[in-house]
Chain A
Amino acid sequence: MIEFRHLRKEYPAANGTLVALDDINLSIENGVIYGIIGLSGAGKSTLVRCINLLERPTAGEIVIDGEDLVKASGKRLREIRRNIGMIFQGFNLLEQRTVEANVRFPLELVKTPKEQANRRIDELLRLVGLQDKAKAYPSQISGGQKQRVAIARALATGPKYLLCDEATSALDPNTTNSILELLKDINRKLGVTIVIITHEMKVVESICSYVAVIDKSKIVEHGKVAELFSCPKSEIAKELILPGLIRSESTPGNKLRLIFDGSVTDKPLISALSRECGVEVNILFADTKTIDGKIFGHMVIAMPNDDRAVAEIKSFLDKNGVTYKEGI
């Protein structure tokens, strides 16, 4: 388990100090995929760097499996770090080493016997699907492949935790999905606890089971991803879920947010609503997708200025099993 207790990080700045993290308290249970989401500059990268002490906090504790990292000695800290893999937005591969030698790097650090290292590298390259690229250099492979190498390298010493710092932000959507699938696989097969830092709700939505939202150096809300989606409390969470809608004041009047959590099967819901209730609804925002015939996502519709029509709409939604919330 990773626990932050009253974590604080300050940087010296031109005019006084800059607070990057302010009283962070959070627990990440073992075996989960935990997302930490926020806009750039919110402090999320600093937070993840504190987990393996690449950044030393100004105050507070980082406790991993009961041990406070801040108090660990240099040698002990390096041992702990071998139990926490990390991948980065920029991949950070050693450019002068082949794919295979990159994966070998962490094994070299702990002087793993060659035979054993070779077997491990083989295993890892198979896991990430890059056996045929073993002898290639980073400059010869694509971004997605580079991230796969980075993942294999991060897992070489068999860590219990894997930190992903914007690991998919430099990749195109298809590659992003394949990397996320790989991470999900690793979590399931190897039981590795994964912490994902991202600014994209899609990433959280597709693989995380828990999420913490960070804004202006503070954690503003955290919990299960499903809960955050159905009732985001903070402004920033709403902004992340319904991008662009919160700030726009262009559509006054009552709004209704429909939440699709997979309990509704795919059908032309809005047109049915319009026909049965005899009202016209305006869709202000929609981000839904169909997976296995079930709808997931959100939709915000404008309500007519007529209490009876509103009541009818609500009863229609109740009848069809759609969760909704007034306002946004």
Chain B
Amino acid sequence: MSELLKQLFQSGEIYKHAWITIWTTLLSTFIAYLIGLPIGVLLNVTDKEGLRPCVPLNRALGLIVNILRSMPFVILMVAFLPVAKFFVGSSTGNAAMLVMLIIAAAPYVARLVESSLKEVDRGVIEAARSMGASDLQIIFKVFLPEAKPSLIVGAVISTVTILGYSAMASTIGGDGLGKVAIIYGHQRFNEDIIWVCVAFTVVIVQIIQEVGIFIAHKTDKRIRKIKKRRVL
């Protein structure tokens, strides 16, 4: 074990960075959902087969989402430095990292939400319509509740993706496991530090996945039968 690694553990530095990785990931995922969820709903609703088709709006939204999604995160970060500066007053550090993560995650979330909503049976939508439901009622009482398990699975996937992004954010001075691995590990030739960071991220990802999938299964009323059979 290298001296530096020992120091990192003794000073608690490594744990501090692990926590930063966790909370930046969770916070940016949460804010990304505040933005991405409504956009995803809008993408679905305005689709030409949607509840309220509006092709120009759908195309425009789709284009913005596609452009942001096709930018590699490292490039997106440097390209949007002025945006971070505008929002948080700085283009480096943890606050800037959060802005970048949100910009990168929101369009991703929007597409995931859109595809989750697409899975909702059109017949059920039609039935709700036949009962006199308004478009808003269909969104809040049919689309979102019926797609809930799939939305939760989507949230797990996006959280893990954002965790991956957050490691790259050390490029703009963001803290976290990524920074530890690159600056203390890679740049100072301490391979063991890199592997410790890997171990930490693996554990974090596993926890997020297990908890998320558990909740998704727990809330899904469609698979109860199968589950029961499995128990028997």
Query: Interface of A with B (CB < 8 Å)?
Result: 52, 54, 74, 78-82, 84-86, 88, 90, 92-98, 105-106, 108-110, 137-140, 150, 153-154, 157, 163
Contact = CB atoms under 8 A, between A and B. Distances in A.
Contact of A95 (B130, B134, B137, B221): B221
Given A106-B131, A138-B222, A153-B131, 20 more contacts: A54-B126, A74-B134, A88-B123, A92-B124, A92-B127, A93-B127, A94-B146, A95-B124, A95-B146, A96-B145, A96-B149, A96-B219, A96-B221, A97-B145, A98-B221, A109-B132, A109-B137, A139-B221, A150-B127, A163-B130
A92 B126 CA distance: 8
B133 interface: yes
A166 to B, nearest CB: 12
A84 B222 contact: no
B133 A139 contact: no
B225 interface: yes
B129 interface: yes
Nearest to B124: A92
A105 B225 contact: no
Highest count of chain A CB atoms <10 Å: which of B133, B146, B219: B133
Contact of B132 (A79, A92, A163): A79
Contact of A90 (B123, B132, B142, B146): B123
Contacts of B126: 54, 88, 92
B200 to A, nearest CB: 36
A74 B124 CA distance: 20
A92 B121 contact: yes
A137 B121 contact: no
A197 to B, nearest CB: 13
B223 A139 contact: yes
B141 interface: yes
A88 B127 contact: yes
B148 interface: yes
A96 B220 contact: yes
A24 to B, nearest CB: 20
B141 A108 contact: yes
21 contacts: A81-B129, A81-B132, A82-B131, A82-B132, A88-B123, A92-B123, A94-B124, A94-B146, A95-B124, A95-B221, A96-B145, A96-B148, A96-B149, A97-B145, A105-B128, A106-B132, A137-B221, A137-B224, A139-B225, A157-B131, A163-B130
B222 A86 contact: no
Given A105-B141, A139-B221, A86 B130 contact: yes
Contacts of B133: 78, 109
Contacts of B141: 105, 108-109
B225 to A, nearest CB: 5
Contacts of B128: 105
Name B's interface SS. Answer: helix
A82 B130 CA distance: 8
A96 B120 CA distance: 11
Nearest to A89: B123
Nearest to B220: A96
A2 to B, nearest CB: 15
A81 B130 contact: yes
B39 to A, nearest CB: 23
Contacts of A105: 128, 131, 141
A94 B225 CA distance: 16
Contacts of B123: 88, 90, 92
Highest count of chain B CB atoms <10 Å: which of A78, A81, A94, A140: A94
A78 B134 contact: yes
Contacts of A92: 121, 123-124, 126-127
A78 B137 CA distance: 12
B185 to A, nearest CB: 46
Contacts of B134: 74, 78
A98 B126 CA distance: 19
B35 to A, nearest CB: 25
Highest count of chain A CB atoms <10 Å: which of B123, B130, B149: B130
Nearest to B221: A137
Nearest to B137: A109
Given A90-B123, A105-B141, A95 B129 contact: no
B67 to A, nearest CB: 31
B127 to A, nearest CB: 4
A54 B130 contact: yes
B127 A95 contact: no
A315 to B, nearest CB: 55
Nearest to A80: B132
In the complex, the 7 A-B pairs of residues with the closest C-beta atoms, listed nearest first = A92-B127, A81-B132, A78-B132, A86-B130, A92-B123, A82-B132, A137-B221
A86 B127 contact: yes
Nearest to B126: A54
Contacts of B220: 96
A138 B220 CA distance: 12
A50 B227 CA distance: 41
